[in-house]
Amino acid sequence: MTEALTDTKAQPFIQIRNLNKTFAGRSGRGVAANATPQTVEVLKDINLDINQGDIFGIVGFSGAGKSTLLRCLNRLEEPDSGEIRIGDSVITSLSHNELLAFRRKLGMIFQQFNLLDSRTVARNVDFSLSVARKSKAARAARVTEILDLVGLSDRRDFYPGQLSGGQKQRVGIARALANEPIVLLSDEATSALDPQIALSVLDLLIDINAKLGLTIILVTHQLEVIKYACRHVAVLENGRIVEKGTTQDVLTNPQSDTMKVFVKVNNSMTSDTWREGEGI
């Protein structure tokens, strides 16, 4: 890597530089089925810095590329060009085995939870630990500890099929945190939940951020999530970052079309309606 990038002290924890990604139009994720069979540029020249311990929001309309951007961070999507750096590691140049090892340091949670129906709550969490080759005793202790943290100790022998949506997402969070990651990636993690439940899950994330100093990146299409949880935000529009800054600046003085629409829609409802479960 270039000499200029070797001094990490003064640098942001996560750096994304000139990131580009295209999809073949036919099979692209998030691309309409009737799109022209040409390549679609999903991410165009993304540059972004995220500080350690931040709760960072990535917001945009559906199809803006925000999930793709998030998935580039653990290379569930392979970027076409550009560089991603997390801590001292250059994600974009890791070999396959290095990538597998590094993914154990990145937790990820999903809109559809993606728990294993064949395993109990405790064994879902244990899956992460077994992948990381922890000892049996360490695994058992960690499962108990982490289920306690997410408030599911009394559900450890339940199957996901027996849990509510909020409880499922807590299991998802426990699984993601089991190996003590340095970053938590959240892909619309609260979008499938009832508003009150979504709030309690966000509260849990905020709590974890405070307790563990964990950097959290939240992808969402809900302005309420940004308002409630994020300190910084980047706005994506057609694969480009059109606006970024502190949540307060972006909300009070929106520059991009996307953000103006978001704020306008949001102002037409009070934030209380969201809390009461009617707003979203």
Partner 1 sequence: MSGFEDFLSDLFSLKTWDVIWPAILDTLVMTSVSTILMAIFGLALGTVLLVTRPGGLRPLRVFNVIFGGIIDALRSLPSMVIIILTLPLAKIIIGRSWGPGAVMIALALTCTPMFARMVESSFLEVARGKIEAAKSIGARNWEILLKVILPESLPGLIRAFTIAIIALISVTAIAGWFGGGGLGDVAVRYGYTRFLTHMLVAAVAVLIIIVEFVQVGGEAWAKHIVRKRHL
SS (H, E, C) 102-143: HHCCEEEEECCCCCCCCCCHHHHHHHHHHHCCCCHHHHHHHH
Asked if 196 and 165 count as a contact pair (C-beta separation under 8 A), the reply is: no
Query: What gap in Å lies between CA 223 and CA 202, rounded to an integer?
Result: 13
- Residue in the block written with tokens 């022209």: 36
Nearer to partner 1, 61 or 159 (CB): 159
Min separation Cβ 178 and partner 1, Å: 8
C-alpha dist (Å) from residue 231 to 49, 51, 53, 226: 13, 10, 10, 8
Of the residues 19, 48, 86, 108, which one makes contact with partner 1 according to CB under 8 A: 108
Closest approach of Cβ 41 to partner 1, in Å?
21
Of 44, 119, 231, 240, the residue at the interface with partner 1 (CB under 8 A) is 119
Q: In the complex with partner 1, which residue's Cβ is closer, 76 or 263?
A: 76
Rounded Cα gap, residues 80 and 72, in angstroms: 10
Closest CB to partner 1 among residues 106, 193: 106
Q: Binding partner 1 by CB under 8 A: which of 35, 131, 141, 210? A: 131
* 134 is a contact residue toward partner 1 (CB under 8 A): no
89 near partner 1 (CB under 8 A) = no
| 107 lies in the site for partner 1, by CB under 8 A | yes
Residue list 50-79, contact with partner 1 (CB under 8 A): 74, 76
Stretch that binds partner 1, among 57-65, 101-109, 211-219, 258-266 (CB under 8 A): 101-109
Find the angle CA(5)-CA(104)-CA(51) to the nearest 5 degrees: 40
d(CA 62, CA 72): 17
Interface with partner 1 in residues 161-200 (CB under 8 A): 161-162, 172, 175-176, 178-179, 185
Q: Is 261 near partner 1 (CB under 8 A)?
A: no
| CB-CB contact of 102 with 89 (8 Å) | yes
Applying the rule CB under 8 A, the residues between 24 and 43 that interact with partner 1 are: 27
Q: Are 238 and 253 in contact (CB under 8 A)?
A: no
Site string for partner 1, 201-220 (x = CB under 8 A): --------------------
Residue 29 vs 264, nearer CB to partner 1: 29
CB atoms closer than 10 angstroms to residue 149: 18
- The alpha carbon of 270 is separated from its chain's Cα centroid by a whole number of angstroms, namely 26
Cα torsion 216, 119, 71, 255: sign: negative
Q: Which is nearer to partner 1, 100 or 261 (CB)?
A: 100
Query: Which residue, 7 or 117, is less far from partner 1 as judged by CB?
Result: 117
- Closer by beta carbon to partner 1, 13 or else 102: 102
SS3 at position 231: coil
The contact set with partner 1 (CB under 8 A) reads 27, 74, 76, 100-104, 106-108, 110, 112, 114-119, 127-128, 130-132, 159-162, 172, 175-176, 178-179, 185
